[in-house]
Amino acid sequence: MPSRTGKGARDSDTGTGPLLGDPDDGVDPYLPKNGNLGYRVSRYDLDLEYKVASNRLAGTATITATAINTLGRFSLDLATSLSVSRVSVNGKRASRYSQRTNKLSVTPADSLPPGGAMTVVVKYSGSPKPIRGPWGEVGWEELTEGALCASQPNGAASWFPCDDHPSSKASYRIAITTESPYLAVANGTLQRKRTKAGSTTWIYEQVEPMATYLATVQIGPYVQTTLATRPVKIKAVLPERLKANFASDFARQKDMVAAFGDMFGPYPFPEYTVVVTDDNLEIPIEAQGLSTFGANHCDGTGRSERLVAHELAHQWFGNSLTLARWADIWLHEGFACYSEWLWSEHSGGQSADSLARYHHRQLSSARQDLEVGDPGPDSMFDDRVYKRGALTLHALRVGVGDDEFFDLLKEWTREYRYSSVSTDDFTALAARHSEGSLNRLWQQWLHEKPLPPFPEAG
């Protein structure tokens, strides 16, 4: 297995330079086993065939990338539950490859020079299963009849070889072949589908750059309906039996898209798809251009509307603008949580201020041992990151006023559209929308563990 020792590491086979490239790129300390140095991926072409009854996946991944350093060997993230049968680099069969601890190590026939283009083709197959980690099992998951992919934060390797780092954003083509009774959904827009001998191939193109953990495939005995065509195409994919409940529970989906467009700027993708599985899910799942809910979130009561708003908001905060490192998870979850409160306020429910006060009281009785701006890997999905992250935005809104606050959100989504972002990016931009210094606000809310007092106007 390649070394991770940094600048001094040399390829033991060729002695031609850093084994995995420039260590200044770094790997994320929250997930140090994920991501790979030495190259940048620009595109994934995935040709997948899935057998529902046997949970059997066969795939060919064509990965287009550029070498950063001279590479005599490189690695990709790929679960060892999937067996690789062939690897080629720039049309030549790899000298050797090996799989170990969810890594595929590749030695190309010819070393790759700095700036050199490389096309890596990996053929693989197996019975995909989730990757187990501190946050439970993530990745490819079998349903009662079908499958879904929920890859946050490190589950993409459960179904395709990749550079599984949140800042590694690329375009995708995803082709899925499965039995014709099933409908298959993936990121992007459907380019075409073809049916042959009882199987249907669905081909999707995701043009806008996407992080690996946001890539998804959804397969099930679903029907599809269109909820809106303008200004954004909104679709629903779900079991026939849940259509009546869906009409009630997601009745305001179109209004949400319009409201968030006014608050945050234009919806960032060509369309939005809501998938509802026939199985219950513990929590909804975000993916780029899609959100996935369980049957339990579509029960006709409307009790999951805040979650509908939360997952939609991730299209701006998490999918178009994606954190560059997991320590900044509040940029996703704090923003999506505050969007729940904004939707409540907009739609005639409780005001954002009222909800902020309620959650401030709840947090005041919780443990005061978490730094929102760097919660640590074990706590990055702690509910306190969500709620206190939302309170940070409310404190900012109180401090700068509504006009500047919403102007900031629009500028944030416009200036960093489809980019990797950091807390420093946001705080620097926010400084342009405040007459006074915001340093104390950021220090109290993001970097100190004790909960600050509730922000009051003036």
All structural domains of the chain: 1-219 (2.60.40.1730), 222-315 (3.30.2010.30), 323-447 (1.10.390.10)
pLDDT at residue 188, rounded to an integer:
98
Residues 41, 138, 274: CA angle, nearest 5 degrees:
85
pLDDT at residue 184, rounded to an integer:
98
Residue type, position 354, single letter: S
Is residue 173 within 8 Å of 160, Cβ to Cβ?
A: no
Partners of residue 66 on adjacent β-strands: 40, 117
Residue type, position 377, single letter: P
Beta pairing class for 189-196 and 199-211: antiparallel
pLDDT at residue 12, rounded to an integer:
31
Which residue has tokens 């994320």?
A: 28
pLDDT at residue 449, rounded to an integer:
98
Q: What is the mean pLDDT of the chain?
A: 93
Partners of residue 292 on adjacent β-strands: 275, 285
Question: Could you tell me the pTM of the whole model?
Answer: 0.93
pLDDT digits (tens, 9 = 90+) for 217-240: 999 999 999 999 998 999 999 999
Partners of residue 58 on adjacent β-strands: 49, 125
Beta pairing class for 199-211 and 169-179: antiparallel
CA nearest neighbour of 410 among 429, 385, 431 = 429
pLDDT at residue 17, rounded to an integer:
35
CA nearest neighbour of 164 among 197, 131, 196 = 131
Distances (CA, A) of 187 to 98, 179, 227, 300, 427: 30, 20, 18, 27, 31
Residues in the chain where the model's pLDDT stays below 50 = 1-24
pLDDT digits (tens, 9 = 90+) for 175-205: 999 999 999 999 999 999 999 999 999 999 9
Beta pairing class for 322-323 and 271-276: unpaired
Which alpha helices (DSSP H) does 265-299 contain, by range?
Answer: none
* Cα 228 from Cα 119, distance rounded (Å): 39
pLDDT at residue 25, rounded to an integer:
56
pLDDT at residue 5, rounded to an integer:
23
Residues of the chain with pLDDT > 70: what percent? 94
Q: Across the chain, which distance is largest between two alpha carbons, in Å?
A: 69
pLDDT at residue 20, rounded to an integer:
38
Instruction: Please tell me what DSSP assigns to residue 99.
Output: E
Beta pairing class for 169-179 and 39-51: parallel
* Cα 329 from Cα 180, distance rounded (Å): 39
* Cα 380 from Cα 371, distance rounded (Å): 10
Residues 391, 232, 241: CA angle, nearest 5 degrees:
90
